[in-house]
Amino acid sequence: MKPLRLYLFGNRLVPYFEYSIYAAEQEWPEGEPRDGGKTRWRKIRVQIIRLYKHLEANFPFDEKLCAALLSADEIQVHYSPATPLEKVRKAWSHYLHHQRSRHHFWMCLDVGLACLGALLMPLPGPNLFFFYPAVRAYSHYYSWKGARHGNHFPFRFEPSRSIQTFESQIHGRTKAVLTSETTRLADDLNLPGLCAFLSQKKVYH
């Protein structure tokens, strides 16, 4: 497995990683069963995980990032050296604590909804009232574990001159310059999805 590389951008130090690169290597959650087994619960569990993998690409970005932390064996955090390392550490720690609390809340809520949906199991046909909340609960559980794991993981913080140069060049520039420089940075760091991410998150707006 390649090291999981995270990149922090803007004054808020918004984290980014290239999900498409990582997803190609991680096809199935580590430690989870692949076969249906003999028990009814085991078969349902495998169905939930398969639906999770099918829908994972559409889940919120932060959710996918936290899930990726769980199975990574090496994590590098790249940041602009213009930002003090202590500030970077605190911002990253705050991000993990926030994500852990957030996913724990939604996991509990979706578990409750899945339990209500399970009451419709005797009815014929696919039970979306059970499976969709169950898949969301599983996703939040996986992301919660990843954020919790991240609090104890020995991250490697590495200054990036590319990010520093990029952020110094776009300060006070037009939207056209920002788009051009972002495209150049994405090519330099081999991050195809970076332009859309920074625009969607409005990191520099």
pLDDT digits (tens, 9 = 90+) for 91-137: 999 999 999 999 999 999 999 999 999 988 877 767 889 999 999 99
Q: Which pTM does this prediction carry?
A: 0.89
Residue 147: domain span: 4-201
Instruction: Report the C-alpha dihedral over residues 12, 4, 30, 146, rounded to 10 degrees.
Output: -20
The vertex-24 CA angle with 134 and 150, nearest 5°, equals: 65
Q: What DSSP character marks residue 3? A: P
pLDDT tens-digit profile of 155-187?
Answer: 999 999 999 999 999 987 788 889 999 999 999
Number of domains in the chain: 1
**pLDDT at res. 89:** 96
**pLDDT at res. 122:** 77
| Helix 161-169 / helix 175-189 crossing angle, nearest 10 deg | 170
| 25 φ/ψ angles, rounded to the nearest 5 degrees | -95, -30
**pLDDT at res. 24:** 62
Query: Scanning the structure block, which residue is given the tokens 């788009």?
Result: 179
Instruction: Round to whole Å and give the CA distance between 173 and 98.
Output: 32
